[in-house]
Amino acid sequence: MADITKAKRIVVKVGTSTLTYENGKTNIRRMSKLVSVLADLANSGKEIVLVTSGAIGVGVGKLGLGSKPSDTSGKQAAATVGQCELMFMYDKLFSEYGYVVGQLLVTKSDFEDGQRRENLSNAFEKLFEYGAIPIVNENDSVAVEEIVYGDNDTLSATVASLVNADLLVIFTDIDGLYDSDPRENPDAKLIPVVEKIDDSILALAGGAGSKRGTGGMVTKVHAAQITSKAGINAVVMNGQAPQHIYKLLEGKPQGTLFKAK
Touching ligand GLU, residues 103-142 (CB under 6 A): 137-138, 140
The answer to whether 213 contacts ligand GLU (rule: CB under 6 A) is yes
Provide the sign of the torsion angle of the four alpha carbons 133, 19, 219, 214, taken in this order: negative
The torsion angles phi and psi of 138, rounded to 5 degrees, stand at -65, 145
- For residue 56, state whether it binds ligand GLU (rule: CB under 6 A): yes
For residues 15 and 255, which CB has a smaller minimum distance to ligand GLU in the complex? 15
Regarding 151 and contact with ligand GLU (CB under 6 A), the answer is: yes
Among 10, 35, 51, 79, binds ligand GLU (CB under 6 A): 79
| Nearest CA-CA partner of 31 in 17, 48, 44 | 17
Closest approach of Cβ 198 to ligand GLU, in Å? 24
Q: How far is the CB of 209 from ligand GLU (least distance, A)?
A: 8
Residue 129 CB, shortest distance to ligand GLU, in Å, is 27
> Judged by CB, which is closer to ligand GLU: 54, or 61?
54
Burial class (CB in 10 A: 0-12, 13-18, 19+), 2: middle
Give the largest CA-CA distance in the chain: 50
Q: Is 215 exposed, middle or buried (0-12, 13-18, 19+ CB in 10 A)?
A: buried
Choosing from 12, 39, 55, 133, the residue that interacts with ligand GLU (CB under 6 A) is: 55
Distance from chain centroid for Cα 53: 7
Residues lying near ligand GLU in the complex (CB under 6 A): 15-16, 53-57, 79, 137-138, 140, 151-152, 213-215
